[in-house]
Structure 1
């Protein structure tokens, strides 16, 4: 059964663009420029991992502007790695360096261009949907060579609502001129992306690049959404994501399998 016109919404960070790799390299650049201790780079990476999500949530919740969050996040990294202040690091210049550096490291994953081209050839409408600041993400996509592949974009910073709220997924479907049941969402986070999309009525592809097991309670989460198991696929790369898979998901024939 052909579901007719359909669309695909993609997450950006760690789905289309290797954000984690770029973030790591940018932090090492910062450490090389400002670090006075031999292990400052590794300490900075560990501190980033400890505080980054918490600080980013302050932006998503509206507590901080995006630019203020960037500096606050770096300040939290410094506090985590050097609570005594012995390195005498200043968050603002370090963040300026990190933010400049990271744009030299942004790159799309090797499997992205071919996947987007397959969907384009299949007639799918393609857009991105991201919990992020709109202008910043557009710069990032341009830096990674993605701008020409995308028909539209929905960002939480523009909309005022973030994943996993159904509203942002519905806005993404609307941006493609399609009802949610004709749209597949592809993202790397289980709860935020896959379950969030399913609860909003979209089909979902969980991009599990490192092959980690599903989180505790994952099966219960899927079972709580009527029909979700047949509209969900788990993949370890975008090389198996194409129009055929999208049609299986949109017609409820995917059987929640891993590819």
Structure 2
């Protein structure tokens, strides 16, 4: 399938890198920091208990579902208050978490493919997560990064897709959104009027009968191949 694309929006977690190993490291690194600096919190809230507390705090603040960083900070403050440690340490604990959160291991195909895509069309990151492309070291491939925290609403809400298109200066039907999540990425982009690409690295079966992605690939390199074969350069309005 070939159709005109003037820009691409990209999901991050589980699209450019797997999140599961990051999540596991985050919990262990944060617990080690708490053992050293807030031992009462570490004792009362080991990894599993901290996970349960975090889920409870998230449930109490559905209005912050788009802001994972703020929810994490609130969880740390709550844990320290309940344990008798000074919650002033919450910011330092968060920085420890955030540093580890941005230590990613890209899928083997991702970085070369990212460079190839960026050489063809403008790229924008659109994510519900709180990764920082500048800290990770790949922001130079992107025109900008739009997170749900900054926007105020998370995918699959159409407004975050439309905001990215507006910032790119490209109509939604000429923007391809690429991501791993069936509903947040593919269905969300479709309903917002964008073209969609399901990055299906695990070879899963598409679950919806009435709606399909415009494209489906198992690697980002395959998407770059498709773009190389189908792309006809068009000037993007300033």
**Aligned-pair distance for 1:128?**
0.9
Q: Hey, what's the Cα distance between the residues in 2 that align with 1:103 and 1:73?
A: 17
Q: 1:195 to 1:66 in 2, by over 3 A?
A: closer
- Following TM superposition, the consecutive aligned residue runs of length 4 or more in structure 1 with deviations greater than 6 angstroms are none
Q: Hey, what's the Cα distance between the residues in 2 that align with 1:232 and 1:52?
A: 38
1:219 to 208, 222, 227: 208
Residue aligning to 1:47: 52
- Report the 3-state secondary structure (helix = DSSP H, G, I; strand = E; otherwise coil) of the residue aligned with 1:109: coil
TM-score (norm 2): 0.72
Q: Hey, what's the Cα distance between the residues in 2 that align with 1:94 and 1:44?
A: 17
Residue aligning to 2:126: 129
Deviations 1:78-129 (A, max 9, x none): 59xxxxx6x76666635632432441452251332111122133x2221111
TM-score (norm 1): 0.67
| Residues 227-238 of structure 1 aligned to structure 2 (within 5 Å) | 228-229=211-212, 231-233=214-216, 235-238=217-220
Runs of 5+ in structure 1 lacking a partner? Answer: 80-84, 249-259
Q: May I ask how many residue pairs the two structures share in their alignment? A: 222
Q: 1:95 to 1:7 in 2, by over 3 A?
A: same
Q: Are the equivalent residues in 2 in contact too, given 1:8–1:127 (CA < 8 A)?
A: yes
Which one has more relative contact order, counting CA pairs under 8 Å at least 6 apart? 2
**Aligned-pair distance for 1:206?**
2.5
Residue aligning to 1:34: 34
Runs of 5+ in structure 2 lacking a partner? Answer: 231-238
Q: Are the equivalent residues in 1 in contact too, given 2:196–2:213 (CA < 8 A)?
A: no
**Aligned-pair distance for 1:29?**
1.4
- Report the 3-state secondary structure (helix = DSSP H, G, I; strand = E; otherwise coil) of the residue aligned with 2:126: strand
